[in-house]
C-alpha cells in the first residue's frame, strides 16, 4: 500500500503545480507598452525591437514609452515622438511614405516584372518551336520481320 | 526579346547595383541627424557636482554646446581634454555656453571622473537617460550645438578630436557666435 505514496505525491505535484504558479497579471498599460515597444527599433542593436532588446538604451526607451502611456498619450503620439527624435530608423517597419515606397514596392515590382518577362519568353519559345512530326509509317517488310522475331522469342 | 526590353532590364539592373553599392560601401554608422535644423528640446536637471538645478532656459539666446558623456565611456576620456580646451577658447565670449550632460551614470562616479579629468563648465545629471532620448542620442559621446534662436545646428556622434575639433570650432561655433541675427 505504502509503495504507492511516492507516486501519489508525484501526481499531486504534477497536477497542482500549475494552480500554484504565480499568475502574471499584465495590465492594460503593460499591454500597450509592449505593443508600442515592439514597433520601435533598438537603435544600438541589430534588427531588434526595444521590447526584446537587453541594451540599456532600449530599457530607457521602454521606460519612456511607459511614462507616456501613463500620461495618457495615444500609440500614434508616442510613435511620433520617437520618430521626431530618431527619424525613420527607429521604426521597425519603415513608414509608407516618400522614398520608403521603394522598399515596400520594389520586391513586388521585380517579382511581377520578372514573372511577366519569363511568361513572355516561354511563350515565345513555344511559338517558335515547330510542331513535332509523326513517325514515318512502318513498311510491310519491317512489320513482317518484327513479327517473325517476336514469334521466335516466344518459342525460345 | 526586343531592344526596348533589353535596355529597360539593363537600366533596372544598374539601378539595383547602385543601391547595393551604396548599401555595401556606405558608412553603416551614419544615421541622418533628424534633429538638426529643429528646435532644441528644453533640458533641465540637477548639477552633477553641486546638485543645484540647471535648465536650458537660463541659457536662452546664447550659443550652447551640449556634450553627452559618462564616466564609463572610454571615448569620453579621449575627448575630455579637448572639451576643456574648447571651453577655454570660447569662454570669454558673452554668448557662449557649454553644458555637459552626464548620461546614465552613477553620480559619485561622475563626480570622481570630473575631479580626476577636470571640470570647467557645468554638467547636468541625466540618470534615467530621458534627456538623451529627447536629443535622439544613440550613445556617448555625442555633441550638439544650439544657436541663439534655439535651433540645433550641429550634431556629432563620437569624440571631439583632430579634424572634428577644428571643424567644430572653425566652421560651426565661430560663425554662429559672430552671427548678428538677434536671439529669439
Q: Per the CB < 8 Å rule, is A60 touching B135?
A: no
| Residue that wins the pLDDT comparison between A130 and B41 | B41
| Chain A residues inside the 8 Å CB shell of B134 | 85
Considering its fold, how many domains does chain B have in total?
2
Q: How far is CA A30 from the centre of its chain?
A: 26
Residue B90 lies inside a defined structural domain of this protein = yes
Residue B95 lies inside a defined structural domain of this protein = yes
Domain housing B14: 1-30
- The conformational region for residue B33 under phi > 0 = left, psi -120 to 50 = alpha, else beta, is beta
User: Could you tell me if B15 and B43 lie in one domain?
Assistant: no
Strand order across the B96-103 sheet = B123-126, B96-103, B63-69, B142-146, B152-157
Q: Which residues of B touch A (CB under 8 A)?
A: 1, 5, 9, 12, 31-32, 34-35, 38, 104, 128-130, 132-136, 138-139
Least confident of A87-96, B82-91, B144-153: A87-96
Handedness of CA B161, A88, B131, B112 (dihedral sign): negative
Q: Domain of B149: which CATH number?
A: 3.40.30.10
User: Could you tell me if B21 and B92 lie in one domain?
Assistant: no
pLDDT along chain A (156 residues), means of 10: 69 63 71 96 88 92 95 96 92 86 87 90 85 82 92 87
User: Could you tell me if B38 and B82 lie in one domain?
Assistant: yes
User: Could you tell me if B48 and B100 lie in one domain?
Assistant: yes
Query: Pairing between strand B96-103 and B123-126?
Result: parallel
User: Could you tell me if B13 and B90 lie in one domain?
Assistant: no
Percent of chain B scoring above 90 in pLDDT? 77
ipTM of the complex: 0.83
Amino acid at each position: 500500500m505504502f509503495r504507492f505514496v511516492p507516486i501519489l505525491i508525484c501526481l499531486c505535484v504534477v497536477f497542482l503545480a500549475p494552480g500554484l504558479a504565480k499568475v502574471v497579471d499584465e495590465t492594460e498599460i503593460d499591454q500597450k507598452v509592449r505593443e508600442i515597444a515592439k514597433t520601435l527599433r533598438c537603435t544600438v542593436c541589430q534588427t531588434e525591437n526595444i521590447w526584446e532588446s537587453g541594451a540599456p538604451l532600449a530599457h530607457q526607451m521602454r521606460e519612456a514609452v511607459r511614462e507616456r502611456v501613463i500620461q495618457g498619450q495615444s500609440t500614434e503620439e508616442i510613435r511620433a515622438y520617437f520618430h521626431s527624435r530618431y527619424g525613420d530608423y527607429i521604426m521597425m517597419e519603415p513608414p509608407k511614405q516618400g522614398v520608403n515606397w521603394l522598399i515596400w514596392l520594389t520586391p513586388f515590382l521585380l517579382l511581377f516584372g520578372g514573372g511577366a518577362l519569363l511568361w513572355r519568353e516561354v511563350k515565345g519559345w513555344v511559338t517558335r518551336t515547330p510542331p513535332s512530326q509523326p513517325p514515318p509509317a512502318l513498311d510491310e517488310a519491317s512489320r513482317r520481320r518484327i513479327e517473325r522475331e517476336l514469334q521466335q522469342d516466344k518459342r525460345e | 526579346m526586343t531592344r526596348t526590353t533589353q535596355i529597360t532590364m539593363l537600366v533596372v539592373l544598374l539601378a539595383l547595383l547602385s543601391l547595393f553599392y551604396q548599401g555595401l560601401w556606405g558608412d553603416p554608422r551614419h544615421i541622418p541627424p533628424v534633429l538638426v535644423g529643429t528646435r532644441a528640446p528644453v533640458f533641465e536637471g540637477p548639477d552633477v557636482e553641486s546638485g543645484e538645478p540647471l535648465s536650458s532656459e537660463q541659457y536662452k539666446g546664447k550659443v550652447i554646446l551640449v556634450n553627452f558623456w559618462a564616466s564609463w565611456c572610454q571615448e569620453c576620456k579621449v575627448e575630455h581634454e579637448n572639451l576643456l580646451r574648447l571651453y577655454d577658447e570660447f569662454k570669454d565670449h558673452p554668448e557662449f555656453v557649454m553644458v555637459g550632460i552626464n548620461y546614465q551614470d552613477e553620480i559619485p562616479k561622475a563626480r570622481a571622473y570630473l575631479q580626476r579629468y577636470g571640470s570647467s563648465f557645468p554638467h547636468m545629471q541625466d540618470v534615467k537617460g530621458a534627456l538623451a532620448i529627447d536629443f535622439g542620442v544613440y550613445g556617448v559621446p555625442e555633441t550638439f550645438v544650439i544657436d541663439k534662436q534655439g535651433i540645433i545646428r550641429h550634431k556629432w556622434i563620437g569624440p571631439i578630436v583632430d579634424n572634428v575639433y577644428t571643424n567644430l570650432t572653425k566652421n560651426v561655433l565661430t560663425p554662429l557666435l559672430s552671427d548678428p541675427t538677434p536671439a529669439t
